[in-house]
Structure formats: C-alpha cells, structure tokens
Chains A and B, each alone.
Chain A
Amino acid sequence: DSGVTQTPKHLITATGQRVTLRCSPRSGDLSVYWYQQSLDQGLQFLIQYYNGEERAKGNILERFSAQQFPDLHSELNLSSLELGDSALYFCASSPRGIDQETQYFGPGTRLLVL
C-alpha cells in the first residue's frame, strides 16, 4: 500500500457525460500527478500540481481539467466523455514535486465509457 488513495475504483458512464476522479496523496506529499493508462497509448502523464498550483502539463485534453485543494487532495474532471476516454487513471504523489523524485502511485480508477 503506497498511501495514495483514489476514489472511486470503478466508474461506468455514458458518452457525453462528465465525471470527477478523486485522489488523496501520501501524508506529507505536496505534489500530485495524474496519468492515463490505455491500451493504445500506454501510460501517459497528464498533469502535475504542487501545493495547489499547476506545475507541469502533459498530454491532457482540453475536455479534461484538474485542481488541487488546500487540503492537498486533487480532482480530475473529465467532461464530454468519448468512448476513447475509457482507461485506467492513476494518481501519484511525491514530497516536493521536483524532477527525478520518486512518485508513489495509487490503485487507480478504471473508467468505462459506454
């Protein structure tokens, strides 16, 4: 157990809908990262937050957004969902959010868009 929690574990929804994925980092970690794992794209970095501020952006679609709250938990919002958004979404956390720091991953949220 990494200490990173994610809810829900599974999510089934329809195209066009909007969902919110939640992540709580390890105690003491200030940085949160979101990754998407799909069969065709593999594991891809989406976005990073550090202490409430966006720090780095990866291959995140405009339909997707995220934020990190004062208590350091983070939410990933996915809107206008398409079939291709079906994937496993991971959250990771690290203490300082700096380069080359070890990131600890949560168990993931499996999203199925029908």
Chain B
Amino acid sequence: AQSVTQLDSHVSVSEGTPVLLRCNYSSSYSPSLFWYVQHPNKGLQLLLKYTSAATLVKGINGFEAEFKKSETSFHLTKPSAHMSDAAEYFCVVSEVGNEKLTFGTGTRLTIIP
C-alpha cells in the first residue's frame, strides 16, 4: 500500500531564506512521487515529479526535490523564499499498478516579509 507523511503541517520562513518541506513515503513498489501546490482558492498545480530517471528533480519556480530511497524521503526545497510561495504544498505518491494518487495531509507555507 502507498502512503505519504508530511512531517510539518505548517512552516514559516522569512522572505529570502531557504525553504524545506519534508515528506516521507511508503510504497510496496517503485513509486512515482509528486509535489503539488495549492494557492488560496485555486486548484492544484504540479511543481515537480520523480520517476526514477534522476534522484534530484527540478521543478517550476525554483523548487527542487531529492529522492532518497534509503531514507524513504522526498523533501522539497527552495534556496530563497518569495512572498508568492505562500501556499499549501502536497506530497503525493503513485506506485506501479495503482492509478490513483495518494496525497499527504499538506504543509502550509507562510512567508514572513
């Protein structure tokens, strides 16, 4: 069975400082992992996707994530936070043989001016 755990429900960082949103996954088979972002009153937008081609995945808006199999982690990072990054971020897993996406509980990112 597939599942993800987002370790922080809320993260606050100052503008211009690094962002780290943590995600651990559980999967019986080789997983695909995603990060989606949801801005207030908006839909879900794909930030990036891991599919085993490379462990460091670069996404949109300067975000990237590193797949670490030994730690079953897929943390999302950004070197320098911008006010427009304030949103809810979801770590998502999909494994072989399972068409559905399983979402984490989300991490709300607040940017302090």
| A positions within 8 Å CB-CB of B | 2, 4, 31, 33, 35, 42-45, 48, 55-56, 58, 90, 92, 97-108
Contact = CB atoms under 8 A, between A and B. Distances in A.
Contacts of B42: 107
A44 to B, nearest CB: 8
Contacts of B51: 100
Contact of B100 (A4, A48, A102, A105): A48
Contact of B101 (A42, A103, A106, A107): A103
Interface string B46-75: 100101000000000000000000000000
Interface string B17-33: 00000000000000110
Interface of B: 31-32, 34, 36, 42-46, 49, 51, 90, 94-106
The residue in A42, A100, A101 that gathers the most chain B C-beta atoms within 10 A of its C-beta is A100
A47 to B, nearest CB: 9
B3 to A, nearest CB: 12
A106 B100 contact: no
Contact of A105 (B31, B44, B49): B44
Contacts of A101: 94, 99
Contacts of B32: 100
Contacts of A43: 90, 103, 106
Contact of A2 (B43, B90, B99): B43
A100 B98 CA distance: 7
Given A105-B43, A105-B45, A99 B102 contact: no
Contacts of B45: 2, 105
Contacts of B90: 43
A56 B99 contact: yes
B65 to A, nearest CB: 15
A42 B105 CA distance: 6
A48 B109 CA distance: 30
24 contacts: A4-B43, A33-B99, A33-B100, A42-B103, A42-B104, A42-B106, A43-B90, A43-B103, A44-B103, A45-B102, A48-B99, A55-B99, A90-B43, A92-B44, A99-B94, A99-B98, A100-B31, A100-B51, A100-B94, A102-B34, A105-B36, A105-B44, A107-B42, A108-B43
